[in-house]
Amino acid sequence: MPFRITAFAFLLLLSSTAWAQRKATVFGIVRDSSNAVLEDVNVAGVGKSFGTITAKDGSFVLTVPSEETFQLAFSFVGRNTIYLEVAALQPGTSKRVDVVMGTATKLGTVV
């Protein structure tokens, strides 16, 4: 019985390592047009199941599928949403993406 548990644990570790090697990392900082960092900006893969929000220092880190091109959406209340295409990354690599978000166009009075 202990051999079966050890073998199962080894296979589980091996499969999780293989899964992790098929991933890549995208990281960066989000700032406004005056170069101030923006906290709590939504950063998400368009049509994907990964996303995060920026930290107090404006930074974000995302684990993304490798060998696949995708779009990232950066959104924040009062700011224009920015869409960036990220080219396919090799497994285990990382890419820096820094973003500057402008202020959204002001709306008129709604009655």
**How many angstroms separate the CA atoms of 27 and 14, rounded?**
27
Does the pLDDT at position 13 exceed 80? no
More confident residue, 61 or 108: 61
Mean pLDDT of the 47-66 span: 95
Q: Is the dihedral of CA 106, 29, 62, 56 positive or negative?
A: negative
- The model's pTM: 0.75
| 20 burial type by CB count under 10 A (0-12 exposed, 13-18 middle, 19+ buried) | exposed
By the 8 A CB rule, do 91 and 21 touch? Answer: yes
- pLDDT for position 109: 61
Cβ-contact 95, 61 below 8 angstroms: no
Residue 8 CA to residue 72 CA, distance in Å, equals: 37
Give the per-residue pLDDT at 73: 97
Number of Cβ atoms within 10 Å of the Cβ of 9: 10
pLDDT of residue 48: 93
